[in-house]
């Protein structure tokens, strides 16, 4: 199994390098070499979402993937150096669609921000959510930090990022207004939850780009006069 993880990690890194992007989520199936009982087999997976975290000695890859003809969505966290699987679980029940790392609460170990599609006790309608987890490496499980039922408005997409470059990561979201326009908002962890710290003007925004920089629909985001702005070049 370890050879499978190393091959998969190498494949993702390869696509990141040739594409000049942070982490690419291919829409096609890729051949993966799998080693089971000494036999090298060929398998295929479809990457739904992936992300890297590299800070000091911590180097991790997060994945959501499925196999052909299967509806199961597997979430895995892998140590990039050793290839060790730090976490692996079928989370199809909560329909994971995005995985991101970020220092949203801790300044050392990264949290895992997982986009899911489900109901919650406080909002009994299936919708996109962002659940924040800590990784318990010893028990190889995710420990819930906070399961966000709702943002200020219905969420379309999210990304952890230090938008104001002050060393503290924010949780950035694209949200839908009542008139069906969108806005971008930034939330920061305070004691026991996230509070709104920045927002932008209404506009048309689809999704965050898969790049090292904070971009929406190909345009950089920045803070000007305590408001979120797109950099128009």
pTM: 0.82
Nearest to 130 by CA among 148, 104, 111: 148
Q: Write down the pLDDT at residue 204.
A: 94
Q: What is the pLDDT of residues 204-213, one digit of tens each?
A: 999 999 888 9
pLDDT in tens, 4-39: 444 454 444 444 433 333 444 443 344 444 444 444
Q: What is the pLDDT of residues 90-132, one digit of tens each?
A: 999 999 999 999 999 988 899 999 999 999 888 888 999 999 9
Residue indicated by tokens 């992936």: 50
Task: Give the three-state DSSP class for 47.
Answer: strand
Burial environment of residue 114 by CB neighbours within 10 A (0 to 12, 13 to 18, 19 or more): buried
Residue with tokens 């140590």, as numbered in its chain: 79
List, in order, residues 6 or more apart from 122 with CB less than 8 Å away. 149, 150
Q: Identify the pLDDT of residue 17.
A: 37
Q: What is the pLDDT of residue 192?
A: 80
Note the pLDDT tens digit of each residue in 154-196.
999 999 999 999 888 999 999 999 999 999 999 999 888 899 9
Q: What is the mean pLDDT of residues 147-151?
A: 85
Which residues on adjacent β-strands are paired with residue 32? 43
Residues 19 and 179: their CA atoms lie apart, in Å, by 36
Q: By three-state DSSP, how is residue 18 classified? A: helix
What residue ranges in 121-165 does DSSP mark as E strands? 123-136, 141-148, 155-161
Provide, rounded to the nearest whole percent, the portion of the chain with pLDDT above 90: 54
Closest listed residue to residue 100, CA positions, set 5, 166, 170: 170
Nearest 5°: the CA angle 137, 107, 156 is 85
């Amino acid at each position: 199994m370890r050879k499978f993880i190393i091959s998969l990690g190498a494949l993702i890194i390869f696509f990141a390098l040739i594409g000049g992007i942070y982490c690419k989520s291919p829409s096609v199936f890729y051949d993966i070499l799998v080693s089971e009982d000494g036999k090298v087999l060929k398998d295929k997976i479809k990457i739904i979402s992936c992300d890297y975290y590299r800070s000091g000695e911590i180097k991790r890859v997060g994945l959501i993937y499925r196999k052909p003809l299967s509806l199961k969505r597997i979430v895995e966290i892998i140590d990039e150096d050793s290839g060790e699987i730090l976490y692996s679980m079928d989370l199809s029940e909560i329909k994971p669609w995005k995985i991101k790392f970020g220092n949203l609460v801790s300044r050392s170990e990264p949290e895992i921000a997982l986009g899911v599609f489900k109901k919650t006790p406080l909002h009994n309608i299936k919708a996109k959510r962002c659940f924040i987890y800590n990784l318990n490496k010893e028990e190889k499980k995710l420990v819930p930090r906070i399961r966000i039922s709702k943002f200020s408005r219905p969420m379309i997409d999210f990304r952890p990022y230090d938008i104001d470059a002050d060393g503290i990561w924010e949780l950035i979201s694209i949200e839908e207004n009542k008139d069906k326009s969108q806005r971008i908002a930034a939330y920061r962890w305070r004691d026991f939850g996230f509070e709104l710290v920045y927002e932008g003007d209404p506009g048309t925004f689809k999704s965050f780009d898969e790049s090292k920089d904070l971009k929406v629909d190909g345009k950089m985001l920045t803070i000007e006069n305590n408001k979120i702005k797109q950099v128009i070049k």
